[in-house]
Structures are given as C-alpha cells and as structure tokens.
Amino acid sequence: MIKFPQNFLWGAATSAYQVEGNNTNADWWQWEKAVHRENSGMACRHYEFYEQDFDLVKSLNHNAHRISIEWSRIEPEEGKFSQGELQHYVDVILSLRARNIEPIVTLHHFTNPIWFSKAGGWVDRRAAEIFLRYCDFVVNGLAKHVRYWITINEPNVYISHAYILGVWPPEMKSYLKAKTVENNMLLAHIKAFRLIHKIYKELNSPKPRVSIAQNIMAFVPCTQALKNRFAAMLRNRWYNFSFLDKAIRHKTLDFIGINYYSRQLVEVKRWGINSLAADVCEKGHHPVRKNSLGWDIYPEGLYELLLKLKNYRLPIIITENGICTQDDRLRWDYIYNHLKNIHLAIEKGAPVTGYLYWSLMDNFEWDKGFGPRFGLIDIDYNSYKRTVRESARLFGEVCKTGIL
Ligand code: BGC
C-alpha cells in the first residue's frame, strides 16, 4: 500500500492572471493586445466565481490551495495601493479558511504592473525596493490569515522566457539583462523573506513559512558523449539549483517549493555556449509519452531530483506538477506516476510535505492561450461552466485517504 505521511498538504494551484480575468493594469494585458495573441480577457472569471470554485475544491477533499496576488490590481499606479483590491484577497483567503483549506499565497507570478515595466521592470536597480513596498502592504493586510508564502514564482522560467528567449514581455534577448534580473529577483526574495518574518514577529503571530517556487527539470544526456553529460550537468546546476543555492546561503527558505513538469533530453551539436545551454535531441531518441504541448512525461526525474533536494534538509512542497492534455486518463496516469515517485523519494528520506496539482482548472496558458488544458476542472469558455473531470475525482480520493 502506498500511504503518504499524516498532515500532508493536498491541493491544486492557480495564478491570478491566468484565472481571474480582466487584469487590465498588468504588463501582460498590454503585451497580448500589442502582439495580437489570444487575449486573457475574462480568463475563467475566477475573480467573481471564487466561492463556487472553492466549493469544488472542498468537494475534492483538498486541504491546501495555492493562489497568487495580482500586483497590478493592488498597486495600479506607482505608490497608490488599493484597499478595495486588498480586501478582495482577504475575502478570497477567508473563504478558503472557512472551508478549512490552507492558503499558500504567491506574491509574484510572472506579471507586473504596467508602470513598473515601463520604468524598466526587473532590470531597474530599484526593482527589489519597489517590489518590497508592495509586499509590505499585502503581507500586513493578509498576515493574520496566511502561513505559507511564495515570494516569486519560477524566477528561472520568467528570466529565460522574458530575457533570454524573448518570447514573453518585455521580449529581451540579452544574457546581461538576464543576469541583472536574476540578481534583482534574488535580492527581492531575500528582502521579502526578511520582511515577512519581521511583520509576523511584530504581530506576535506564529512563524510564517516562506519560499520561492523553483521550476526544476530532469536534464538527461541523450548519449554518454562528454559534451552531452557536461551540458546536462551545467543546466542542472544553473537552471535547477543556482537560485535555490543562493537563497539557502542567505538562509531565506523555510521550505523548498518546487514545480516539476518534464524532462529535457540533452544532445549538444557543438562545444559553444549557446549549444551547451539549449540544444536538445531532435531525433526522437528514448521516446516517452508527451503532453499536448509536446513536453516529455518523465515521473522518475522527479524522484531523482527529490533525492538531490533532500541534501538541503528542508521540508519540500511540490507547489506545481501537472499535464495539459485532452486525454483525461493520461492526466490521471500522470498524477498517479508522479505521486508514486514522490512516495518512493519520501521512503528514501526526502521530506516532502505537500503536493499541489497544476492546475485546479483549465486556464490562460500565457503565450499559448487557452488551448492547453491543465485543469482538474474543465472550463467552457463560452458559458464559464465548470465540469469536474474524472482525474480530479480520483485525485480527490487520494487527498481524502492519503492512500494511492
Ligand atoms: C507556471 C504556470 C504555468 C505552468 C504550465 C509553470 O511554469 O508557474 O504559470 O501555467 O507552468 O506551463
């Protein structure tokens, strides 16, 4: 029998911009319109329907739920903070609490206020300071009701998409700028971590638990050729561990939040920085099943990474893990096999204390629009009707019993 530890956090995750709808003050909103992409528009209308969505969460036996706060709602103009929007998030969190669901709250999930981006965004040397003012306002308002915080979601994904590949706003392709953003995000995290702890102390509240959500990937050399092994090692170090290492060196993680989806099969054409950083096998070697975006499904990679993460001696929460697919049986298969590997890692001593599926519902998948279906719950974008998928029910049983 596969049985998970007592008090395990079970649930799902969303982010504000992807589900709320109508986030007109965010830089993404402006960018979508400018590049004529599928627009996020009303998204899932979760901003209005959160109560009924949380009823579904409850009916699926989740005891935890990850949301994010939309910075551009809270601070639509520089230095002008909205009490009304803060109250909205207080209501959202209280409605989770009323259902006995532990909120896990992210402060930055890819989007920024338009004014912040215009002023240089995360490249600007004042970025961390500006972000901190927003954190101060939000954390003071929510501290009484929240224990778990994620300061920044996936700095490595944000940096690589927005500043290296140039496929997300502000569409930069500059290693130099990417490095600056990394430094600024690290500083922002460190300062936010300390600020959150300080606020809880002043309020005499029980200690908060603060982390980032780190995207990690299984980098697997396609062949044993030296350049493939070397590149896989480099990517593993830079992409998976460098930000975490730094945050830990500054003693600014109370737990490790990780987001795991897929494998990258590393096959390097030539020695050279670009090839070492990005080349992948294009010949279909070592085939595995894929999600609808073509990402490899590779649950054993999570097991291996968890054993490495164990060395940090901090509790680990899987803050995202999920699949986009039209085939709901494949979704359950994906969840089942990832949970199995997580359990194996727990048996080997990896202190995993929670699992959040990405995502509670189908939503706006950034530059890919509404096509990819990651949800435990299906969204009909014409009627906004919610339909619980079978995979959600199966996962709900695990959440209820702790038994896979
Ligand atoms: C992000 C989510 C995204 C998901 C699927 C993660 O990288 O945090 O916002 O929707 O992956 O691509």
Delimit the domains of the chain by residue range. Answer: 9-212+293-401
Contact 370, 384 (CB under 8 A): no
Which helix (H) or strand (E) segment is 188 a member of? helix 175-202
* Pairwise CA distance, residues 327 & 72, whole Å: 35
Q: What are residue 216's DSSP bridge partners? A: 260
Ligand 1 geometric centre to CA of 15 (Å) = 9
Q: Ligand 1: which of 366, 370, 379 to mutate, judged by most atoms within 8 Å of the beta carbon? A: 366
What is the number of other CB atoms lying within 10 angstroms of the CB of residue 36? 7
Strands 377-379, 352-358: pairing kind:
unpaired
**Rounded to the nearest 5 degrees, what angle is found at the Cα of 153, between the Cα atoms of 332 and 329?**
10
**Rounded to the nearest 5 degrees, what angle is found at the Cα of 160, between the Cα atoms of 159 and 162?**
65
Ligand 1 geometric centre to CA of 201 (Å) = 33
Q: Please tell me what DSSP assigns to residue 28.
A: H
pTM above threshold 0.85: yes
- pLDDT tens digits, the chain, 404 residues: what are they? 899 999 999 999 999 999 999 999 999 999 999 998 899 999 999 999 999 999 999 999 999 999 999 999 999 999 999 999 999 999 999 999 999 999 999 999 999 999 999 999 999 999 999 999 999 999 999 999 999 999 999 999 999 999 999 999 999 999 999 999 999 999 999 999 999 999 999 999 999 999 999 999 999 999 999 999 999 999 999 999 999 999 999 999 999 999 999 999 999 999 999 999 999 999 999 999 999 999 999 999 999 999 999 999 999 999 999 999 999 999 999 999 999 999 999 999 999 999 999 999 999 999 999 999 999 999 999 999 999 999 999 999 999 999 99
Amino acid at 26: A
Residues 6+ apart with CB under 8 A from 362: 44, 370, 373, 374, 375, 377, 378, 379
Residues having CB within 6 Å of any atom of ligand 1: 15, 18, 153-154, 157, 215, 259, 320, 358, 365
* Pairwise CA distance, residues 394 & 373, whole Å: 18
154 CA closest ligand 1 atom index: 8
Ligand 1 geometric centre to CA of 271 (Å) = 31
CATH entry 2.30.42.10 includes domain 9-212+293-401: no
* Pairwise CA distance, residues 113 & 70, whole Å: 9
What does the chain come to in residues?
404
Which helix (H) or strand (E) segment is 64 a member of? strand 64-68
- Tell me the CB-side half-sphere exposure of residue 35, using CA atoms within 13 A: 19
What 3-state class would DSSP assign to 353?
strand
